[in-house]
């Protein structure tokens, strides 16, 4: 079960429930994936509505690993979400809010 006080969310991917969390390690992974951009620059990018499929993949994969699931980006890329692309986007938005805005 997800703990909102730790910035965790629950999400269903490919019919299975997972806990996602952008831990410090997961955030460092995202910084590296974005060429060393700092967290503020990454957050501003997403706040401006610039979230592509590769962004969603990176954030969800990092969140899954931060939540304790040993999984590769390729495995995440093969997953499905209810609602398709909108479902993935919803997971990303909820995870970013839980991480940066402290919202459950």
Q: How many residues does the chain have?
A: 104
Q: DSSP H helical segments within the chain, as ranges? A: 24-33, 39-47, 53-66, 73-77, 85-96
pTM: 0.91
Q: Max alpha carbon distance in the chain (Å)?
A: 34
Q: How do the domains of the chain map onto residue ranges? A: 19-101
- Read off the pLDDT band of 102 (50, 70, 90): low
Q: What is the pLDDT of residue 104?
A: 47
CB atoms under 10 Å from CB of 42, counted, come to: 20
């Amino acid at each position: 079960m997800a703990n909102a006080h730790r910035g965790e969310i629950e999400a269903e991917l490919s019919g299975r429930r997972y806990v996602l969390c952008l831990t410090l390690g997961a955030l460092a992974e995202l910084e590296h994936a974005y060429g060393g951009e700092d967290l503020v620059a990454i957050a501003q990018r997403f706040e401006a509505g610039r979230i592509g499929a590769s962004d969603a993949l990176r954030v969800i994969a990092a969140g899954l690993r931060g939540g304790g699931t040993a999984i590769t980006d390729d495995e995440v890329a093969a997953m499905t979400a209810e609602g398709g692309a909108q479902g993935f986007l919803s997971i990303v938005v909820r995870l970013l809010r839980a991480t940066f805005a402290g919202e459950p």
